A and B are shown apart, each in its own frame.
Chain A
Amino acid sequence: MEGGFETGFLLGHMNYWLFVILMMTGFYIVVARGNLLKKIVGLNIFQAAVFMLYISVGKISGATAPIITGNPDEVYSNPLPHVLILTAIVVGIATTALGLALIVRINESYGTIEEDEIQQHDLEQYDKDCARAEEAR
């Protein structure tokens, strides 16, 4: 089909479209939200999108799970992306846990988990530093 709108192109790359949408959703949340907790949620969506990209790549049509069945004609899905993503998921869990732990600590010492309020506190602290420095002069 020349020049026209190709449904095959759209549907054939379905996993990539979904990946892009999901990834950008997550990325947008990380960038646009001021709440630290929501940022972590966005980060998780962002990472999940990547996991799905990898896993969808390992799929082979008509193939079964990669467990030896004894049938020499059996076609297996590619297990390697799954293994890689297993590692990446573990890394993701560690990141999430650490991020949440930091949020708990931030909440304890700042009393808020809104980014702009934290920045406000930090700026006040900076002004205090300036005043202290002025005293030293």
Chain B
Amino acid sequence: MIFVNDKDLVVPGEILAEDDFHPGRGTFKEENKICSSVVGLIALRNKKISVIPLQSKYIPKRGDVVIGEITDIRFSMWGLDINSPYSGLLPASEVFGKEKRELDKVFKIGDVLFLRVVDVDEVRKVKLGLKGRGLGKFKGGILIYITPTKVPRLIGKKGSMINMIKDKTNCEIVVGQNGVVWVNGDIEMERVAEKVIKMIQKQAHTSGLTDRVREMLAQLTGEELEVSKDTEAVEGEENDNDNASSEDEKDVKQENDTNSSEKDNKNIPREIFESKLNLNHKR
């Protein structure tokens, strides 16, 4: 017996179903009734009912990749703000192994890092690590903050959404599971990407979002191209073979800065998609 439809808005305590259904995330079971425990939208998958909260705070989970800001340097560890009620710790041993060096010569307060959650213990002490491909410090770019539950929507199915934004804006984009997004590219394009990401956050629950994002991107990047046409008429040619030229640029970028761009372009986001694909509530 089920009382709700897919993508319905529910409030805490609302009875969602009885008997032969399984309670998923954001729900609890009382006697034989499944109730919602958050304000959010229903996600129905086979016989499993979950509620995806409209807004959330990031709760650290082992294996997640997150973006954190250094807020504290202690004797043998850094303290990080990971956009969560719990703060993160990066032990010095994760960075230099057994070697001993001064911590503030490596990362300073205010630095932004891409990290992996190594361990979360009973008291929610979050241990972070930098071991893995592409993890490390960001240089340049801007940070955008979104609600962590919208992260799967921003990435899209197999990364379709985020790759579309990357292609159209020609920016490097890294999405952390904690709802922090790092965008690096041309200053104007960074702004375009920010606008689009904010729009996705606002409309994450609606259908046909991909088309609207495509439209918005075309409109925003189109305008910018027209502006540059006015100043440099020759640039117009580049528009036609947009694909070719942008790929060239990417190659150049990778050669220039193998360390940072390699990580951001492909490797890491794919890991995020894979770990979160099952959360993706768009069919």
A and B associate: no
